[in-house]
Amino acid sequence: MSNQRRNIINHILTNLKLIDGSISSLNSSYTFQNNIFDNVFRKIKFLDEVNDFPSIFFQVGEEVRVYNTSGNTTGLIPLTLRLYVNDEESSGSLDSLIQDIEHIIYNLDTGVYSIRDIIISSVDTDEGLVKPYGIAEIEILIDYELDIEN
CATH number at residue 10: 3.30.70.1700
* Residue 56 domain-assigned (yes or no): yes
Q: How confident is the model at residue 1 (pLDDT cuts 50, 70, 90)?
A: low
* Residue 150 domain-assigned (yes or no): no
* Residue 74 domain-assigned (yes or no): yes
Full domain range(s) for residue 113: 3-145
Read off φ and ψ for residue 13, nearest 5 degrees. Answer: -60, -50
* Residue 8 domain-assigned (yes or no): yes
- 3-35 pLDDT, tens digit per residue, is 999 999 999 999 999 999 999 999 999 999 999
How many distinct structural domains can be found in the chain? 1
* Residue 39 domain-assigned (yes or no): yes
